[in-house]
Amino acid sequence: MKPFHVKIFADGADKTGMLEMYRNPLIAGFTTNPTLMRKAGITDYAAFARDILQAIPDRPISFEVFSDDFADMERQARIIATWGSNVFVKIPVTNTKGESSAPLIAKLSAAGIRLNVTAMLTLQQVRTVVPCLAKGPESYVSVFAGRIADAGQDPLPIMRESVACLKPYPQLSLIWASPREILNLVQADQIGCQIITMTNDLIKKIPVIGKDLAAFSLETVRMFYDDASKAGFRL
């Protein structure tokens, strides 16, 4: 398997799974969100975050605000930013009313807070957010390429243009978020995207990259045969 230039961030909120990925030298960072935390059964947000940061002190980790009010988002963001030197604060591109977070993003970035602007799916959103981060510290622009694909649209043109939008700002990195298949890792690398987030299940498929397709075909046939035999199927 050839080396990739794109960095791989593990996406999850299960401590056991996160620590497993922390031991994986391929993993350069971590992302979480409130939905993943809820699925993992987390009830104390701050306690979970501090526990994870003690276990993973030396790779970037993104924690998201969860208020829908911009003033309260700012308050939460400033608290989260104090949790560790490797913390990035996730700010959704809008609130639930569709109101842009751009003014808040600009204010937090000007205050020196490293951000991960999340839930973006359009080029217009990227073009609005990038100027808000242009004079600030290292930050991430997270475009949900997987959800673009879920909507029946090819994410590659949007991701390519997003790479171009960020190019003048070396402190900004584009995240290819919510990938649906291993091919997305290859695509992200080919277009110069700096980061891709991947679930543990996808990460575990990375060794398959470059596998001989004829051998993969034979392996698949053998799997079907073995499973039919183990099931005791008869006709």
Per-residue model confidence as pLDDT tens digits over 106-162: 999 999 999 999 999 999 999 999 999 999 999 999 999 999 999 999 999 999 999
Residue 30 counted as domain residue: yes
With CA atoms as reference, report the closest residue to 200 among 4, 72, 11, 1.
11
In a domain, 104, yes or no: yes
Residue 56 lies in a domain: yes
* Residue 1 domain-assigned (yes or no): no
Distance separating alpha carbons of residues 181 and 146, to the nearest angstrom? 9
CATH number for position 48: 3.20.20.70
Count structural domains, the chain: 1
pLDDT tens string 32-82: 999 999 999 999 999 999 999 999 999 999 999 999 999 999 999 999 999
Examine residue 173 and state whether it is found in any structural domain, yes or no: yes
| pTM recorded for the entire structure | 0.96
CA distance 56 to 19: 8
pLDDT in tens, 186-234: 999 999 999 999 999 999 999 999 999 999 999 999 999 999 999 999 9
Would you say residue 186 lies in a domain?
yes
Domain that holds residue 164: 7-210
- Average pLDDT rounded to a whole number, residues 83-90: 98
Q: CA 168 to CA 159: how far, in whole Å?
A: 16
pLDDT, the chain, mean: 97
Residue 232 located in a structural domain: no
Confidence of residue 1 (pLDDT cuts 50, 70, 90): low
3-state secondary structure 107-154: HHHHCCCCEEEEEECCHHHHHHHHHHHCCCCCEEEEECHHHHHHCCCC
Could you tell me if residue 59 is inside a domain?
yes
- The token duo for 141 is 């622009």
Structure tokens at 201: 């299940």
